[in-house]
Copies of this chain bind each other. A is one copy, B any other.
């Protein structure tokens, strides 16, 4: 495995080597590059910069649904379908790892080891515990590294239970929302808000009772408007455990992408996604600069202690700290 050293020139050489290796099909180099990005290592920006020219061509498909909706099995089916079509596939599965749902996706992934011998398929699960912000942006970055390894289809899978997960699928070209009959309103009440993010609805486990009702509810929501002219999200029925409906889903995705491309909406979506990512990248870099130049961990903790004891007003403190960062740079010109 390539080691990434910390000396500036050595680091760049190692990154070049790493990216050349992962582009040549070295799975361990790919895993290493992803880890650098996931852990926000010093070399992360260099890795992403080196991968960037090889991205932007793959189709990014986001899939989200409640726990228990059979999403992972569906993703496996779709991946197998694309492989049969000679497409190469990367799967990035975001595992919210909350105390309540922790590890569900990772567990599913063990099953996927059956694909392990296929060099045209790469699977990566991301844990999110303790993640410091920017989860959606980092997921998109990791998908870019996977794409740079030569994948033409990127399947980005999340458990759709929080804003983070919604943000993640929003960065995709096409968003698939997976519903199932009979999960109960507590877990999966179909809300108007779902219209905003879904480009395609899947009713999975559609051999179960209640599939008609789920589809009817989606149609009823759609009739209330919201989407206006253009693409109307279709409802695709699947039974992921048997593979039924996989081809219909793949076809719906193709039609959706065609429609978006013709209407200029694909470019629009990708621009909006980059806008969100740029803001997040700027945010992270600014905070890092502040901490590096002005505010050590110990100092931050001492401020926090003073604030907790009501000796310092945090709102004025932050104002002063931010001014401080800007002044520092006026004084010594360092960046």
Determine whether the beta carbon of B271 is less than 8 Å from that of A282.
Answer: no
A109-152 interface bits toward B, Cβ cutoff 8 Å, 1 = contact, 0 = none:
00000000000000000001101010100000000000000000
Instruction: Tell me whether A66 and B100 are in contact (CB under 8 A).
Output: yes
Residues of chain A in range 159-196 having any CB-CB distance to chain B below 8 Å: 160-166, 177, 186-191, 193-194
Q: A281-B318, A308-B267 are in contact. Are A163 and B52 (CB under 8 A)?
A: no
Contacting residues, chain B, for A283 (C-beta < 8 A): 133, 283, 286-287
- Cross-chain contact A319 with B285 (CB below 8 angstroms): yes
Closest CB in chain B relative to A320 CB, distance in Å? 10
Quick check: B161 and A313 within 8 Å, CB to CB? Answer: no
Indicate if the CB atoms of B315 and A67 lie closer than 8 Å.
no
Separation of A139 and B101 alpha carbons in the complex (Å)? 23
| A318:B285 contact, CB within 8 angstroms | yes
Taking a contact as CB atoms under 8 Å apart, the answer to whether B197 and A270 are in contact is no
Number of interface residues of A (CB under 8 A): 87
Query: Which residues of chain B are within 8 angstroms of A281 by Cβ–Cβ distance?
Result: 314-315, 318
A301 and B162: CB pair below 8 A?
Answer: no
Pairwise interchain contact B304-A271, C-beta atoms closer than 8 A: yes
Q: Shortest CB–CB separation between residue A121 and chain B, in angstroms?
A: 25
B274 touches A307 (CB 8 A): yes
**Chain B residues with CB under 8 A of A287:** 279, 282-283, 286
Q: Is the CB of B290 within 8 A of A278?
A: no
A315 to B53 CA separation, bound complex (whole angstroms)? 12
Asked if B128 contacts A187 (CB within 8 A), the reply is: no
Of the residues B97, B129, B162, B335, contact of A165 by C-beta under 8 Å: B162
Assuming A318-B281, A330-B333, A333-B330, is B304 touching A166 (CB within 8 A)? no
Q: Mark A22-66, 1 if CB is under 8 A from B, else 0.
A: 000000000000000000000001001100110110000000011
Given A56-B308, A99-B191, A275-B304; 20 other pairs, CB 8 A cutoff = A48-B315, A52-B310, A52-B315, A98-B165, A99-B177, A99-B194, A99-B198, A100-B189, A101-B186, A129-B193, A267-B308, A270-B308, A272-B304, A278-B303, A281-B315, A283-B283, A286-B286, A286-B287, A325-B326, A330-B333
A-B contact pairs, 18 of them (CB 8 A): A45-B315, A52-B314, A67-B186, A68-B187, A98-B160, A99-B166, A100-B188, A101-B186, A102-B189, A128-B163, A277-B314, A278-B318, A282-B287, A282-B322, A285-B322, A286-B286, A289-B322, A326-B335
> Which A residues are within 8 Å of any B CB, using their own CB?
45, 48-49, 52-53, 55-56, 65-68, 96-104, 128-129, 131, 133, 135, 160-166, 177, 186-191, 193-194, 197-198, 267, 270-275, 277-279, 281-283, 285-287, 289-290, 300-301, 303-305, 307-310, 313-319, 321-323, 325-327, 329-330, 333, 335
Q: Which 6 residue pairs of A and B lie closest in terms of their CB atoms, listed nearest first?
A: A162-B162, A99-B194, A275-B304, A326-B329, A274-B304, A286-B286
